[in-house]
Structure 1
Amino acid sequence: MLVKFGYVAMSEKLQNASPSQTMTATQFSKLQDTEAAIRRLEKIAKSNLSNCLRLLKHNAAYDIDFFRLSSRLVPLVNHPLTEGWKYEKALMPQLKEIGQFVNEREMRIDFHPDHFVVLNNKSKEIFQRSLQTLLYHYKLLKGMGIDPKHRCVLHIGGAKEGKLDGLETFVDNFSDIPKSISQMIMLENDDTIYTIEDALYLGEKLEIPVIVDLHHHDINPSESHLSDLWERVLATWERSPLTVKIHVSSPRDGDMDKSHHDFINPERLLLFFEMIASRTKRLDVMIEAKKKDEALLQLMEHLKEDKRCIMESQASITFQ
């Protein structure tokens, strides 16, 4: 099984490279000239995109070709103060440069929009706001020249009226999502409400790839054993142009702590690899650890010591 590793948004090793610099609505409002305020937003966004490219080049030096981009690349998107702003046109040169770098090196990039993106809410207003956020991510990917299919990870959402109602509301709302947007979506299990089996219910019904989050599963397990669910997870990726992927983090303080540790517990991950290796050809692993790329590189040092792991690069192994 070929396994590639990636990490999230920011680097601990590369200094002064934040892709999430921002400007608040209050700061924007204090500027008398709206056009000047928009130009300032664009300057910040261009700096974020420049840092994003620096991060990708840094990753390439470590053979890391899997990366989650920050969703905060462009400040105040979809805010009433910036209504009508064609940010994607203003940022096109920077977006194209990132896309060219990613495509030339066959990197895998994606997004994980924040928890305000809720597709199973019965409020039309919340649903429409969620679609606008997904449209923003779609525009960024299109500007980069990257196929948007299966590039946005989402949680299923809330369950104010119970899990079953939450699942069925997701199904009902899904039919109202434009196809170009709905094809972006991947679903993961969460650590409180929806298990892997719940995500599989939607994934199988709506043809959405399902991502296993190991940490979430350990805290909020399905009734069925993960080994018995893995074939179903794989099947949800059969229509995807991308490799099946999982999320990995470790609890910070005790087995049931939902907070992420600075680093990754290699033993837990190796147990999972052992369980699925005979049934899986390729796997991409997104590391969700506080120490970002440092956590990835430390994990690789641990894996080097395991006889079942053959090092293919600084950020990939064959597990046998």
Structure 2
Amino acid sequence: MKIGYACIPLGVKYKTNRGFMIKNFTKERLYEAIQQNLLDLLKILEYNVSKGIYLFRISSDIIPFGGHKINTYDWDAEFKDILIKIGEYIKNNNIRVSMHPGQYTIINSPDNSIVENSIREIEYHTLFLDSLELDYTHKVVLHIGGVYKDKSSAMERFCKNFNLLSQSSKKRLVIENDEKNFNIDDVLDISNRISIPAVFDILHHSINPTQDNTETILKKCLETCKKEDGPMKLHYSDQSPTKQKGAHSDYVSIQNFLEFYKIASKFDCDIMLETKDKDISAIKCINTIFPVKKSVMYDEWAKYKYVVMEKNYALYKKCSSIINSETNMLEFYKTIDYALSLLLNEGAVKNTLQHVWGYFKDRANDKEFVKFHQLLSTKEYTKAKAFLKRLAEKYNEQYLLNSYYFIINT
């Protein structure tokens, strides 16, 4: 089993979504953006492997305007060498990648122009994976689309328009249940009609459910996967407690995830986490499920410590002591999750800011000293934290920059 995340890691500064407005489109801008995106994609994959992450969703923005008529550039030929290099790295490290076209890619639309644009978008995603010279275990994930007042006709139209795709796109495409229009039974129906795999999204299912339990659903989804499709793909996320139904949580609750994992682990599957903190939750789940050295807990605590401190100082002290005990990774992460669930405490926030200021007090100039303490005195804590981040970058304080203190939005 592989566990992964989507698109842009938080733990490193690499990104693959560089772009520009269509009115500023030039081949020079396009070339530069593609080159930087591809170089960073390779770095992200290397980072992922260092963290035990072997499942990754590549951003649709990797090639700006990849599925748009304006982009007639033969990027797959121009960047063939780096694309093949990335593909070789993926294959040599047993990584599985995927892509997920956006919500406006709708091949069951009654509007032919929308269908035409959507097919172009799918073909772009397929071309990108093909250009990496990857087999068909590497997928393009798609939702069914709209109902348009007639669900049965909408499903028929999806199946009909599926046949307009290239053979490679047909082999790469997998379809996912959504939270509004098409539940997993609908997806399985279409999947069986056109012989492509179904992807089960647990959060969407909780909002748009069917009668079957999770294990029964996974059995049915598994039956849609052929050997050449690779392991069944699953999407996991928690509901955000503070946002509308269907909104992904800021982080994966390890306790909730393990309840799902208990069922999923009975099957040959890979789990894509869809959560705001991206690689951070993926690392948490991987470290909990797979055996790791005790040093990993120390490394993780170094990243989380100031996040916990600004929530509750007593809990920070507790964590500091339990990592030196026989506590396992599960108990460690359960404590971290509890800390993340707490509301910010003004006293703890201020105390943490002062603690982190200690890294700079002997290096900061007079202007920086005055600025920081001014922000503290006026209780502008968010600005004070942002100021400390700038100081960490200026003075190259790697311990802080490698931590989650400036990354996790608490």
Shorter-chain TM range is 0.7 to 0.9
Distance (whole Å) between structure 2 residues aligned to residue 190 and residue 240 of structure 1? 25
1:5 and 2:3 are equivalent in the alignment: yes
Residue 214 to residue 128, structure 1, CA distance change in 2 (3 Å) = same
Of residues 185, 194, 207 in structure 2, which corresponds to 1:197? 185
TM superposition score normalised by structure 1: 0.85
User: 1:24 — aligned with what?
Assistant: 21
Q: Which residue of 2 aligns with 1:47?
A: 36
List alignment gaps of at least 5 residues for structure 1: 29-36, 304-308, 315-320
Aligned to 2:164: 176
Decide whether the 8 Å contact of 1:7 with 1:66 is kept in 2. yes
Report the residue type matching 2:84 in the other structure. K
- Who is 2:277 aligned against? 291
CA apart distance, 1:43: 1.1
2:64 paired with 1:66: no
Q: Does the aligned pair in 1 maintain the 2:54–2:96 contact within 8 Å?
A: yes
Q: Give the aligned residue type for 1:297.
A: I
CA RMSD of aligned residues (A): 2.1
Letter in 2 for 1:288: E
Identify the residue that residue 114 of structure 1 maps to in structure 2.
102
- Tell me the CA shift for residue 206 of structure 1: 1.1
- The CA deviation at 1:77 is 2.6
- Which of 61, 68, 80 pairs up with 1:79? 68
Distance 1:204 1:226 in 2: 19
Structure 2 runs not aligned, ≥5 long: 297-410
Cα distance in 2 for partners of 1:102, 1:274 equals 28
The secondary structure found in structure 2 opposite 1:311 is coil
The amino acid across from 1:287 in the alignment is L
Measured in 2, the distance between the counterparts of 1:224 and 1:256 equals 25
- Could you tell me how far 1:256 is from its partner in structure 2? 6.7
Q: Which residue of 2 aligns with 1:230?
A: 218
Partners of 1:142 and 1:300 in 2: CA distance: 29
Instruction: Give the structure, 1 or 2, with the largest relative contact order (CA under 8 Å, sep 6 or more).
Output: 1
Is it true that 1:311 corresponds to 2:301 in the alignment?
no
CA gap of 1:81–1:277, structure 2 versus 1, over 3 A, is closer
Using the aligned pairs only, state the percent identity.
Answer: 25
Q: Which amino acid aligns with 1:145?
A: E
Which structure features the higher share of helix residues? 2
Following TM superposition, by how much is the alpha carbon of 1:268 offset from its aligned partner in structure 2, in angstroms? 2.9
User: 1:136 corresponds to which residue?
Assistant: 124
1:58: Cα distance to partner? 0.3
Give the number of equivalent residue pairs.
294
- Pick aligned residue for 1:262 from 250, 273, 281: 250
Contact 2:129 2:138 in 1 (8 A): no
Structure of greater Rg: 2
| Superposition misfits of 4+ residues, deviation over 6 angstroms | none
- Secondary structure (helix, strand or coil) at the match of 1:240 reads helix
Hey, what's the Cα distance between the residues in 2 that align with 1:136 and 1:63?
Answer: 29
Deviation at 1:148, TM superposition (A): 4.2
CA distance in structure 1 between the partners assigned to 2:261 and 2:79 by the alignment: 41
Pick the aligned partner of 1:240 from 222, 228, 231.
Answer: 228
Matched, 1:253 2:241: yes
Match in the other structure for 2:27: 38
Quick check: which one's strand share is greater? 1
The two structures have a TM-score, normalised by structure 2, of 0.67
Which SS does the other structure have where 1:21 is aligned? coil
**Distance change (3 Å), C-alpha of 1:220 and 1:11:** same
Structure 1 residues 149 and 296, CA, compared in 2 at 3 Å: closer, same or farther?
closer
User: Equivalents in 2 of 1:250, 1:88: separation in Å?
Assistant: 37
1:318 aligns with none
